[in-house]
Amino acid sequence: MTRNEELFSRARKTIPGGVNSPVRAFRSVGGAPRFFARGEGSRVWDADGKAYLDYVGSWGPLILGHADPDTVAAVQRVAALGLTFGAPTEAEVELAELLVARVPSMDMVRLVSSGTEATMSAIRLARGFTGRDAIVKFEGCYHGHGDSLLVKAGSGLLTNLQYTGNPSSAGVPADLAQHTLVLDYNDAQGLADAFAKHGNTIACVIVEPVAGNMNLIVPKPEFLAAMRDLCTQHGAVLIFDEVMTGFRVGPGSAQGLYGVTPDLSTFGKVVGGGMPLGAFGGRRQIMEQIAPLGPVYQAGTLSGNPLSVAAGLVTLKKIAAPGFHEALAAKTRSLVDGLAAAAKRRGVKFSAQSVGGMFGVYFTATPPTSYAEVMASDKEAFNRFFHAMLDAGVYLAPSAFEAGFVSAAHTDADIAATVAAADAIFAAG
Ligand code: KE4
C-alpha cells in the first residue's frame, strides 16, 4: 500500500469516509484521496512525496498559491501576540473597512468563520428583515451546508450523486425544506414565473453569480439583471453568494464584473487567504437588523479571529496590486485555451472556459449553460482524465462537478506543462 492508501485506511476508522469534507474523498473519481504533507506556490506534495501542480488551491482560497511568504509571516507574527480574544480587535475594524471599500454594495459587514456561516446568516437576516419565510435558490448551486440550502444543492451533493433528492440531505425537516424554492440556473423566465406566483412570500433569492459547484456555469446577461429587477419589484432581498467568486473573478468580485448590485453579499475562501474566515454584508438598513443592534441573532466564538483576519488583510492587499487580476485571468485563459486546443488537435470531445481565476473543463463539445447540460456531460471520461492527470502530477478537483482555480504562483511553465500532460493523455485516447 502507498502511504496515501495507508493513511486513508487509518482515517476511515475514526473519521466518517476518512475525510473532514465529502468532496475530498474521491468517491466519484474513485481511488484513495491524496493526503498532502506540504504546499509551496503552485505545488503540493503528498504523503508519498509525489509533487503535483495544484488547480484546486484548497477549493479557491489560495489565490496567492500555497504558503505565500507574506501571508505566513503575518499569521506567525499575530499568533505570537495571542490566538484569539473573543473581544473586538483593531485589525477586524481594518478588515471590515477594507471589505466595505472594495464592495460598494456593502455599507456594513459581519465577519464569521466559514462560507456556510455567512450564507446561513444572510438567509436568516433576509427572513428577519422581510418577515417572509420562502427563499429561492437554483439547482446545482451550493451555498454551504445550512439546512435551508441543502435542497438540490451542488458540490459534494452532486459529486456523491446520492444526494440529489429534495431535500438533498437527510436530517433536513420537510417542513423547513418546503420553504426553499429551487429553480433552474440561467432561466430568467422561470424566475419571473415564480415571483408572479409567490412574489410576496419570497424573503430572498440566493445565487452563485458565477456558478462553480456544478462545474463552472457562466450567467446569461439577462439572468442576473432579471433577478435584480424582480427582487426590487417584490421587496425580496437579492443575495450574491460570492464565497467562491469574491475577489476571484475580478477585483470587484462578480457583482463588479457583471454590474449587478445585490442587497447582501457573502464571502469566504479568498477573503481569509487560507485561514477560516467568512463574511456577509450589505445595505445598512438590512445589516442593522443583526444582533446586537437588531432582532436577528448571529454569533461566533472565533468570528474575526486575529489569525484569519491577518491572513485576509495581507491577501486582499496583495491582490489589489495593479494588474493582478488581469494577469491571473490571462493565465487562466491560457490554460483553458491550451487544453481545448490540445483536445481539438487530438479529436477529443472536450471544452473549457474561465472567468477570472476560476475555470471549468467539460467532456462536452461546448461549455454547458445549465444544470441539465452539466448532468449530460461524460462523467466517466472526466474521471479517466482526472486520474491520468493525477498520475502525470497534475491535481484537478476530484469531481466533474467542481470548478478549478489558478493562483498567482502558477507560472507560464506550469501552464505549459499542464497542457502538455493533457495533450499526451488526449493523444493516448
Ligand atoms: P464553506 O462553509 O465550505 O467555507 O463555504 C461554503 C460555500 C458557500 N458558497 C459557495 C459558493 C461555495 O462554493 C462554498 C464551498 N465550496 C466548496 C467547494 N465547491 C467547498 C469545498 C468543501 O465542501 O469541502
> Residues 361, 350: contact at Cβ < 8 Å?
yes
**Distance in Å, CA 158 to ligand 1 centroid:** 13
Whether the CB of 116 sits within 6 Å of ligand 1: yes
Q: Which CATH number fits domain 3-63+322-428: 3.40.50.970, 3.20.20.70, 2.40.160.40, 3.90.1150.10?
A: 3.90.1150.10
Atom of ligand 1 nearest to the CA of 269: 4
> Which of these is catalytic: 241, 331, 362, 371?
241
Q: What is the pairing mode between strands 202-207 and 134-138?
A: parallel
Residue 27 has pLDDT above 90, yes or no: yes
Residue 149 has pLDDT above 70, yes or no: yes
Atom of ligand 1 nearest to the CA of 141: 11
Nearest Cα neighbor of 426 from 337, 366, 336, 343 is 343
Does residue 241 carry a catalytic annotation? yes
Cα(129)–Cα(282) distance, rounded to whole angstroms?
12
Cα(429)–Cα(400) distance, rounded to whole angstroms?
19
pLDDT, tens only, 117-134:
999 999 999 999 999 999
pLDDT of residue 164: 63
Share of the chain above pLDDT 90, in %: 94
pLDDT, tens only, 177-195:
999 999 999 999 999 999 9
Atom of ligand 1 nearest to the CA of 144: 6
pLDDT, tens only, 324-365:
999 999 999 999 999 999 999 999 999 999 999 999 999 999
Whether the CB of 246 sits within 6 Å of ligand 1: no
Whether the CB of 409 sits within 6 Å of ligand 1: no
pLDDT of residue 361: 98
Average pLDDT, the chain: 96
**Distance in Å, CA 152 to ligand 1 centroid:** 15
Whether the CB of 401 sits within 6 Å of ligand 1: no
Whether the CB of 65 sits within 6 Å of ligand 1: no
pLDDT of residue 321: 98
Please state the length of the chain: 429
Does residue 55 carry a catalytic annotation? no
Whether the CB of 265 sits within 6 Å of ligand 1: no
pLDDT of residue 216: 98
**CB-based contacts of 52, cutoff 8 Å, min separation 6:** 34, 43, 44, 45, 46, 390, 393, 394, 395
User: Which residue's alpha carbon is nearest to atom 7 within ligand 1?
Assistant: 144
pLDDT of residue 257: 98
pLDDT of residue 162: 66
Domain ranges of the chain: 3-63+322-428, 69-318
Does residue 378 carry a catalytic annotation? no
Choose the weakest-confidence range: 30-39, 72-81, 166-175, 391-400.
166-175
Mean pLDDT within 254-264: 98
**Distance in Å, CA 314 to ligand 1 centroid:** 22
Whether the predicted model's global pTM rises above the 0.85 cut: yes
Whether the CB of 137 sits within 6 Å of ligand 1: no
**CB-based contacts of 82, cutoff 8 Å, min separation 6:** 306
pLDDT of residue 161: 63
pLDDT of residue 155: 86
Residue 166 has pLDDT above 80, yes or no: no
pLDDT, tens only, 280-313:
999 999 999 999 999 999 999 999 999 999 999 9
69-318 CATH? 3.40.640.10
Residue 50 has pLDDT above 70, yes or no: yes
Atom of ligand 1 nearest to the CA of 213: 19
**Distance in Å, CA 153 to ligand 1 centroid:** 11
